[in-house]
């Protein structure tokens, strides 16, 4: 073998190594103990893949690459350091979009080469280019809209207009027709540009009718698309490491999408096309709420109730994160634990704005992760729980999901807090949750409402707790 | 066409590996999983490098450099932010200082 044969061989073997490192890295995410090293393995795989690419014979100029990597790394470092944990969903949405955009650009350049005649134009190459641009562009623009909604730059409401589905369908048909034309006919840059532009518009139109509360599903799905976009680009370049990595990420996104849909008791089709949350639906419960009494409780009584409990389960919802009160919850748990109370946290899969979000927010507040319990693990324990403390959660603790077939929440898996001996619900007001449904839990015999701002209520709970004699 | 077929084999098998591996990730780590896998999907960076590194005229060069920037933000930002999150996950003894 001479040098001209050895270099591509080294590159290919390095790509294989990178793919193996990605898989090993993801495997190590199966436990919080090994997860960090897994992420580092993934980064190492990426580093090796990039180095291997730089020795490729096709590369003749390095100035643009160096400039691009420097600028990109700078932006990446600053963004990763500066982002608040509550803003993680937006961050992931943007990164997703950029990855998709990069994949689309690479495929676009391949097409331009093909059009210039500097590349053989087999049908399979054209098919993969079209797919790659389509998926990449949809991922890019869809992710940017998701970012805008999460960041509240644009309305979080579901945006609807007449003939919405028809327009989307027509646009998709147009893209399919242009794609078919590009595959069978001579290269045409105008048709190709039209396809790319239409794909960008499609990404926007697909995400705007989806309400803010459904964003966890959407980012999971876009995560999957960004993987598929990378895989499609891999098909264009005949590069297996792109195909493997893209497939891994695609699979990951699909799994997360399924989990989110199941936790919200919705089908994917309903989330994508149902325009859920276009207007706050005033359910029949809303009217009834006014004339039904709830029992409230003072911070002092609540702290006494918890101080003499054996076990307390804290149920945090996104309202807690909005109030930035995670650290106060941790203080409360510390104070309770100092008195010998067993404290656990019950985390619903859709607590937060993206899969697993609440866990990150609590970990940031130094809550040890072995105190965080998934829904399936904590539900059997509520019967033995003295006090369930619900903070800023609503729909995910509504017993109507179990008992009322006519409720929009019916069938959604919930945290069975109503089975605890006492339930304390911390809430700002009696406003219904995302689903606009009144909550049965609030009127139960064993439920007490602690009204007020979550942060202030927690502060007084911690203060009162110190005053309770041991 | 044969090359495409082999690529398809690799793709399908990798999806199965993905399902097997990702299904074992606990819910508590789903956010880092998303941001970490997201960084991996920035692998299109190597495609971007190939485009930016060949001499095919100014349009190609501009597309290539832009793609490199986008993919690098995705890769570097993704891995770093994942690391930032994962280092916060601590067990009881370390957690209660």
pLDDT at residue A312 tops 50: yes
Spatial distance between the Cα atoms of A390 and A452, rounded to a whole number of angstroms:
13
pLDDT digits (tens, 9 = 90+) for A84-115: 999 999 999 999 999 999 999 999 999 999 88
Which residues on chain B are in Cβ contact (under 8 Å) with A378? none
B91 within 8 A of A369, measured Cβ to Cβ: yes
- Predicted confidence at residue A277, as pLDDT, reads 57
The mean pLDDT value for A455-465 works out to 92
Q: What DSSP designation does A389 have?
A: E
A346 within 8 A of A362, measured Cβ to Cβ: no
Residues of chain A numbered 281-310 and touching chain B (CB < 8 Å): none
Q: Is the model more confident about A186 or about A436? A: A186
What residues contact residue A219 under an 8 Å CB cut-off, 6+ apart? A89, A92, A93, A96, A143, A146, A354, B34
pLDDT at residue B91 tops 60: yes
Q: What DSSP designation does A185 have?
A: S
Q: What percent of chain A has pLDDT over 90?
A: 69
The mean pLDDT value for A48-55 works out to 95
Instruction: Please give the backbone phi and psi of residue A343, each rounded to the nearest 5 degrees, phi first.
Output: -115, 130
**Does B25 contact A53 at a Cβ distance shorter than 8 Å?**
no
Q: What DSSP designation does A245 have?
A: H
**Does A65 contact B49 at a Cβ distance shorter than 8 Å?**
yes
Mean pLDDT of chain A: 90
- Predicted confidence at residue A144, as pLDDT, reads 96
The mean pLDDT value for B15-38 works out to 96
The three-state DSSP-derived secondary structure of A112-161 is HHHHHCCCCCCHHHHHHHHHHHHHHHHHHHHHHHHHHHHCCCCCCCCCCC
With cut-offs at 50, 70 and 90, classify the pLDDT of residue B96: very low
A43 within 8 A of B47, measured Cβ to Cβ: no
Question: How near does any CA of chain B get to the CA of A291, in Å?
Answer: 40
Question: How near does any CA of chain A get to the CA of B12, in Å?
Answer: 8
ipTM over 0.90: yes
Which residues on chain A are in Cβ contact (under 8 Å) with B67? 68, 101-102, 105-106, 109
pLDDT at residue A191 tops 70: yes
A241 within 8 A of B50, measured Cβ to Cβ: no
Spatial distance between the Cα atoms of A69 and A328, rounded to a whole number of angstroms:
41
Among B13, B20, B47, which would you mutate to test the A interface (most chain A Cβ atoms within 10 Å of its Cβ)?
B47
Spatial distance between the Cα atoms of A94 and B81, rounded to a whole number of angstroms:
13
Which residues on chain A are in Cβ contact (under 8 Å) with B25? 26, 29-30
Going by C-alpha positions, the residue among A64, A449, A88, A153 that lies closest to residue A295 is A449
- Predicted confidence at residue B97, as pLDDT, reads 39
- Predicted confidence at residue A118, as pLDDT, reads 66
Residues of chain A numbered 356-415 and touching chain B (CB < 8 Å): 356-357, 359-360, 363-364, 366-372, 374
Smallest CA–CA distance from B48 into chain A, residue = A106
With cut-offs at 50, 70 and 90, classify the pLDDT of residue A252: very high
Question: How near does any CA of chain A get to the CA of B85, in Å?
Answer: 7
Q: How many CB atoms lie within 10 A of CB B42?
A: 32
With cut-offs at 50, 70 and 90, classify the pLDDT of residue A276: low
Question: How near does any CA of chain B get to the CA of A75, in Å?
Answer: 6
With cut-offs at 50, 70 and 90, classify the pLDDT of residue A350: confident
Across A96-100, A195-199, A408-412, least confident range: A408-412
Q: Is the model more confident about A154 or about A131? A: A131
- Predicted confidence at residue A157, as pLDDT, reads 83
Spatial distance between the Cα atoms of A434 and A152, rounded to a whole number of angstroms:
16
How far, rounded to the nearest angstrom, does the alpha carbon of residue A392 sit from its chain's CA centroid? 19
Spatial distance between the Cα atoms of A417 and A190, rounded to a whole number of angstroms:
60
Q: What percent of chain A has pLDDT over 70?
A: 94
CA gyration radius, chain A: 26
Which residues on chain A are in Cβ contact (under 8 Å) with B33? 26, 29, 252, 256, 355-356
pLDDT digits (tens, 9 = 90+) for A39-49: 999 999 999 99
Across A58-67, A238-247, B71-80, least confident range: A58-67
Q: Which residues of A are catalytic?
A: 395
Q: Does A24 touch chain B (CB under 8 A)?
A: no
Smallest CA–CA distance from B47 into chain A, residue = A106
With cut-offs at 50, 70 and 90, classify the pLDDT of residue A353: confident
Smallest CA–CA distance from A112 into chain B, residue = B60
With cut-offs at 50, 70 and 90, classify the pLDDT of residue A287: very low
Partner-chain residue, chosen from B23, B28, B76, that has the shortest CB–CB distance to A72: B76
The mean pLDDT value for A229-245 works out to 95
Which residues on chain B are in Cβ contact (under 8 Å) with A232? none
Question: How near does any CA of chain B get to the CA of A100, in Å?
Answer: 8
- Predicted confidence at residue A241, as pLDDT, reads 96
Count of A-B CB contacts under 8 Å: 391
**Does A244 contact B10 at a Cβ distance shorter than 8 Å?**
yes
- Predicted confidence at residue B72, as pLDDT, reads 98
Smallest CA–CA distance from B85 into chain A, residue = A360
Q: Is A446 exposed, middle or buried (0-12, 13-18, 19+ CB in 10 A)?
A: middle
pLDDT digits (tens, 9 = 90+) for B69-90: 999 999 999 999 999 999 999 8
Partner-chain residue, chosen from A116, A227, A370, that has the shortest CB–CB distance to B41: A227
Which residues on chain A are in Cβ contact (under 8 Å) with B15? 247-248, 250-251
Q: Does B9 touch chain A (CB under 8 A)?
A: no
């Amino acid at each position: 073998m001479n040098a001209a044969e050895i270099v591509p061989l080294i590159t290919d073997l390095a790509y294989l190594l990178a793919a193996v490192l990605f898989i090993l890295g993801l495997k190590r995410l199966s436990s919080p103990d090994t997860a960090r090293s897994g992420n580092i393995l993934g980064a190492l795989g990426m580093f090796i893949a990039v180095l291997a690419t730089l020795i490729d014979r096709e590369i003749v100029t390095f100035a643009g690459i160096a400039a691009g990597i420097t600028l990109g790394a700078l932006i990446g470092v600053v963004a990763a350091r500066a982002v608040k944990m509550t803003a993680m969903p937006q961050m992931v949405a943007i990164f997703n979009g950029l990855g998709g955009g990069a994949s689309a650009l690479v495929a676009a350049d391949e097409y331009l080469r093909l059009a210039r005649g500097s590349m053989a134009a087999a049908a399979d190459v054209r098919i993969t280019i079209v797919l790659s641009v389509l998926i990449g562009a949809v991922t890019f623009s869809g992710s940017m809209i998701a970012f805008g909604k999460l960041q509240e730059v644009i309305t979080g409401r579901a945006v609807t207009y007449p003939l919405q589905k028809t327009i989307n369908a027509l646009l998709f048909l147009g893209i399919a027709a242009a794609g078919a034309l590009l595959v069978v006919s001579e290269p045409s840059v105008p048709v190709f540009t039209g396809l790319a532009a239409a794909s960008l518009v499609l990404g926007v139109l697909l995400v705007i009718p989806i309400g803010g509360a459904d964003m966890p599903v959407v980012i999971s799905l876009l995560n999957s698309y960004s993987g598929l976009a990378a895989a499609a680009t891999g098909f264009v370049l005949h590069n297996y490491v792109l195909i493997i990595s893209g497939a891994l990420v695609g699979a990951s996104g699909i799994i997360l999408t399924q989990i989110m849909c199941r936790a919200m008791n919705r089908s994917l089709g309903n989330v994508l096309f149902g325009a859920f949350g276009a207007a706050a639906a005033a359910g029949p419960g809303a009217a009834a709420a006014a004339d039904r009494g709830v029992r409230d409780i003072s911070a002092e009584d609540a702290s006494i109730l918890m101080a003499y409990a054996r076990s307390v389960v804290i149920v945090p919802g996104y309202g807690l994160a909005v109030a930035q009160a995670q650290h106060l919850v941790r203080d409360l748990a510390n104070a309770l634990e100092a008195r010998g109370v067993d404290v656990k946290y019950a985390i619903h899969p859709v607590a937060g704005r993206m899969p697993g979000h609440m866990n990150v927010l609590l970990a940031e507040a130094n809550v040890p992760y072995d105190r965080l319990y998934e829904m399936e693990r904590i539900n059997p324990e509520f019967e033995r729980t003295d006090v369930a403390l619900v903070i800023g959660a609503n729909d995910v603790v509504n017993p109507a999901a179990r008992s009322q077939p006519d409720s929009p929440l019916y069938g959604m898996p919930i945290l069975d807090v109503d089975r605890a001996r006492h339930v304390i619900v911390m809430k700002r007001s009696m406003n219904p949750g995302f689903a606009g449904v009144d909550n049965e839990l609030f009127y139960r015999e064993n439920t007490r409402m602690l009204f007020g701002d979550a942060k202030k209520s927690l502060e007084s709970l911690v203060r009162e707790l110190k005053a309770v004699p041991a | 066409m044969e090359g495409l077929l082999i690529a398809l084999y690799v793709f399908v098998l990798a999806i199965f590996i993905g399902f097997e591996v990702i299904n074992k990730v606990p819910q508590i780590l789903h956010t880092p999983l998303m941001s970490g896998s997201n960084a991996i999907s920035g692998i299109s960076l190597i495609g971007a490098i190939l485009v930016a590194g060949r001499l095919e005229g100014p349009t190609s060069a501009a597309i290539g450099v832009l793609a490199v920037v986008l993919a690098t933000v995705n890769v570097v930002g993704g891995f770093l932010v994942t690391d930032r999150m994962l280092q916060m996950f601590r067990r009881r003894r370390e957690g209660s200082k």
